[in-house]
Structure 1
Amino acid sequence: KIEAELSELAEADRAELLGSLGMKEPALAAVARAAYDLLGLQSYFTAGPKEIRAWTIHKGDTAPQAAGVIHTDFEKGFIRAECYAVKDLESFKTEKAIRDAGKLRSEGRNYVMQDGDVVHFLFNV
């Protein structure tokens, strides 16, 4: 019942209720996080003008393997990945500001994806 109530609250009210219950996050989020850890999974994000999407990959996957989750052609024709951390987006607010701050990285075939990477894949098929 508490989980249902939490889902209907505004962010500030949710944080206050969780704190009063001695919790840092809703139980459903904790279960999902534990399942990801147990299964050795992590997420990365793609962002465009119309959509931001999370993709699930295995910990230790390389950039081409992560690209292949979107489409096999992305993996076959992989050139490089332009990446930044999602926490940088929280700090700098825009991709342009991230680029201007020198936080946008260009990564090659051997790059091991990090949990929370925001990625733009360059490929040619």
Structure 2
Amino acid sequence: RALDLITFLTAGEKEVRAWTVRRGTKAPQAAGVIHSDMERGFIRAEVIDWHKLVEAGGWAAAKEKGWVRTEGKDYVVQDGDVMLILFNV
């Protein structure tokens, strides 16, 4: 908190990874922390809070329950978000 940083997560079949950004960072800039191409070609992000993802038992179950949100370029990333970032370069 003293540094005004938050953590968001990305998850795949083989790996879950945490990324640190400044509080108030928008989704495209957060994607840019992962790779600059992701920021440049950002389309949208599918987002869920990690607590809800664990409660659902996985990404597919969370989508089935309607807990995964689609967010655009103006979305401000929240601490604990799990994001699937869609981009095209």
Q: Which runs of 4+ in 1 moved over 4 A?
A: none
CA RMSD of aligned residues (A): 0.5
Larger strand fraction of residues: 2
What percent of counterpart residues are identical? 52
Q: What do the CA deviations read for 1:33-76 (whole angstroms, capped 9, x no partner)?
A: xxxx0000000000000100000000000000100000000000
Q: 1:50-109 CA deviation, whole Å, 9 max, x = no partner?
A: 100000000000000100000000000000001111011221111111001100110000
TM-score, normalised relative to structure 1 = 0.70
Partner secondary structure for residue 90 of structure 1: helix
The count of residues paired between Structure 1 and Structure 2 equals 89
Structure 2 residues not aligned, in runs of 5+: none
Query: How far apart, in 1, do the equivalents of 2:41 and 2:60 lie?
Result: 26
Residue 103, structure 1, aligned to residue 64, structure 2: no
Higher helix proportion, which one? Answer: 1
Tell me the TM-score normalized by structure 2.
0.98
Partner Cα separation in structure 1 for residue 80 and residue 34 of structure 2: 16
SS at match of 2:33: helix
- Match of 1:75, SS state, is helix
Which amino acid is the alignment partner of residue 57 of structure 1? V
Q: Which has the larger radius of gyration?
A: 1
Unaligned runs of 5+ in 1: 1-36
